[in-house]
């Protein structure tokens, strides 16, 4: 987002030895440590950060072919989207719907990155980390990662405990993409029936369609599009109990307010579109507060037009309050806020 003040200490680590040395440096000086990947989902305070920002910069990607799949191991510092592009080019499926997502590979298991019904947990084989509590390397299987909807133990229960070093995925060969979301399926089918093309072409078309959809919503970082100066979705789509959703629909009908909010069945209840809630609470696209605003192209993104973290947090707080007052639903912030 281009927000926040300076860090008192910053180091770029290109190996495990450098990470260990940087952590020791911070320990000796009693400095807080903030691990940073691409920074696309992290917001720093205006006053800056008194501590060590450790930027993970290990590189390297390897593909190993199996009978019906390819196992890819990518270092945490590899940019995510080029890895997706390379996998698609090799006609491998499993991450094509995660095209156009900014940031680095190491960040993807942290919030179980997902889009269009695909999430990293589905293809993940293991996550290789440094456990800061023991100073040992560990390799975690998916079941040990505590994955949930845009969540994992790395984000919640064990926040800051692990430094992710590399990520291993198993991607399928000769497999057509599964298009779970209607918007994406329609966009792909517009180019012709997928049943008539080979799997490699189908995978490429899925990636192209995802990129086009995301660009239209300013969700692909582009220095020439000021609306992309955001952290992507600022709020998670809330999952609410079915009876709360039914009440919400009934109240709207009583008041003659239609249509009901877009919603989908999810584990634990009904997932409601956070973007819809934001707009219906009066924060329409383009709504501005000082130097920050609700994106003109997607009500779920908050954009920095030269503002401050304080302004951003005020706007986010007002939106949360407004949605809660109107619908009784508390929106949860998605990006990481460094305090």
Q: Catalytic: which of 90, 150, 173, 252?
A: 150
Binds ligand NAP (CB under 6 A): choice among 65, 66, 135, 183: 183
CA distances (Å), 304 to each of 49, 85, 206, 210, in order? 19, 28, 30, 24
Which is nearest to 199 in space by CA: 69, 40, 17?
Answer: 69
Instruction: Check residue 300 for interaction with ligand NAP (CB under 6 A).
Output: yes
Instruction: Check residue 116 for interaction with ligand NAP (CB under 6 A).
Output: yes
Q: Which stretch binds ligand NAP (CB under 6 A): 60-68, 164-172, 176-184, 248-256?
A: 176-184
Q: State the nearest-atom distance from the C-beta of 47 to ligand NAP, in Å.
A: 26
150 labelled catalytic: yes
- 33 close to 23: Cβ distance less than 8 angstroms: yes
Q: State the nearest-atom distance from the C-beta of 19 to ligand NAP, in Å.
A: 26
Rounded to whole angstroms, the Cα distance separating 209 from 185 reads 9
Instruction: Check residue 229 for interaction with ligand NAP (CB under 6 A).
Output: no
Q: Compute and round to an integer the Cα radius of gyration of the chain.
A: 21
Taking CB under 6 A as the rule, which mask of x and - marks residues 235-254 in contact with ligand NAP? Answer: --x-----------------
Pairing between strand 292-294 and 302-304? Answer: antiparallel
The H or E element spanning position 316 is: helix 309-327
Cβ contacts of 202 within 8 Å, gap of 6 or more: 176, 177, 188, 194
Q: State the nearest-atom distance from the C-beta of 326 to ligand NAP, in Å.
A: 18
Binds ligand NAP (CB under 6 A): choice among 108, 233, 280, 320: 233
Angle at 159 (CA atoms; ends 144, 302), nearest 5 degrees: 115
| Burial of 249 per CB tally in 10 Å (0-12, 13-18, 19+) | middle
Closer CB to ligand NAP, residue 118 or residue 309? 118
Q: State the nearest-atom distance from the C-beta of 335 to ligand NAP, in Å.
A: 8
334 labelled catalytic: yes
User: What residues between 254 and 273 interact with ligand NAP by CB under 6 A?
Assistant: 262, 264, 271, 273
Instruction: Check residue 187 for interaction with ligand NAP (CB under 6 A).
Output: no
Shortest-Cβ-distance residue relative to ligand NAP? 232
Pairing between strand 124-131 and 292-294? Answer: unpaired
Binds ligand NAP (CB under 6 A): choice among 128, 132, 170, 217: 217
Instruction: Check residue 181 for interaction with ligand NAP (CB under 6 A).
Output: yes
Q: Which stretch binds ligand NAP (CB under 6 A): 81-89, 110-118, 126-134, 197-205?
A: 110-118
Instruction: Check residue 63 for interaction with ligand NAP (CB under 6 A).
Output: no
CA distances (Å), 33 to each of 25, 78, 158, 173, in order? 10, 21, 15, 40
- 70 close to 159: Cβ distance less than 8 angstroms: no
Q: Catalytic: which of 233, 295, 311, 333?
A: 233
Residue in the structure block whose two tokens are 């942290």:
110
The H or E element spanning position 63 is: strand 61-65
Q: State the nearest-atom distance from the C-beta of 132 to ligand NAP, in Å.
A: 26
Q: State the nearest-atom distance from the C-beta of 288 to ligand NAP, in Å.
A: 21
Which is nearest to 237 in space by CA: 258, 217, 207, 267?
Answer: 267
Helix then strand then coil, in percent of the chain rounded to 5, is 30, 25, 40
Rounded to whole angstroms, the Cα distance separating 230 from 300 reads 10
Binds ligand NAP (CB under 6 A): choice among 1, 84, 164, 219: 219
Instruction: Check residue 178 for interaction with ligand NAP (CB under 6 A).
Output: no
Q: Which stretch binds ligand NAP (CB under 6 A): 112-120, 122-130, 157-165, 307-315?
A: 112-120
Interface residues with ligand NAP (CB under 6 A) are: 114-117, 180-181, 183, 217, 219, 232-233, 237, 262, 264, 271, 273, 275, 300
Q: Which residues does the annotation mark as catalytic?
A: 150, 233, 334
């Amino acid at each position: 987002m281009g927000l926040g003040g300076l860090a008192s200490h910053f180091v770029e680590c290109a190996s495990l030895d450098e990470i260990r040395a940087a952590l020791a440096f911070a320990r000796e000086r009693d400095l807080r440590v903030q691990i940073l990947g691409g920074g696309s989902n992290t917001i720093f305070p205006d006053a800056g950060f008194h501590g060590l920002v450790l930027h993970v910069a290990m590189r390297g990607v390897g593909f190993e072919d199996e009978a019906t799949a390819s196992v890819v191991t990518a270092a945490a510092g590899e940019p995510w989207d080029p890895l997706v592009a390379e996998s698609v080019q090799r006609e491998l499926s499993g991450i094509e719907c995660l095209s156009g997502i900014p940031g680095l590979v190491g960040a993807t298991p942290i919030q179980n990155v997902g889009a269009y019904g695909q999430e990293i947990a589905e293809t993940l084989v293991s996550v290789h980390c440094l456990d800061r509590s023991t100073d040992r390397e560990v390799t975690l299987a998916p079941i040990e990662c505590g994955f949930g909807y845009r969540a994992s133990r790395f984000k919640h229960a064990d926040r800051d405990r692990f430094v992710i070093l590399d990520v291993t995925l198993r991607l399928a060969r000769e497999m057509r993409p599964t298009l779970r979301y209607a918007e994406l399926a329609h966009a792909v089918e517009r180019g012709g029936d997928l049943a008539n093309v080979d799997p490699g072409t189908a995978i490429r078309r899925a990636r192209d369609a995802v990129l086009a959809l995301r660009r239209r919503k300013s969700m692909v970082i582009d220095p020439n599009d000021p609306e992309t100066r955001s952290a992507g979705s600022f709020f998670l789509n809330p999952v609410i109990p079915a009876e709360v959703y039914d009440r919400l629909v009934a109240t709207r009908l009583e008041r003659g307010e239609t249509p009901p909010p877009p919603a989908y069945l999810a584990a634990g209840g009904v997932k409601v579109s956070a973007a819809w809630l934001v707009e219906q609470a009066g924060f329409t696209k383009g709504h501005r507060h000082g130097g920050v605003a609700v994106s003109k192209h997607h009500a779920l993104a908050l954009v920095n037009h030269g503002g401050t973290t304080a302004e951003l947090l005020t706007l986010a707080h007002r939106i949360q309050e407004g949605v809660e007052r109107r619908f009784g639903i508390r929106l949860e912030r998605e990006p990481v806020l460094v305090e």
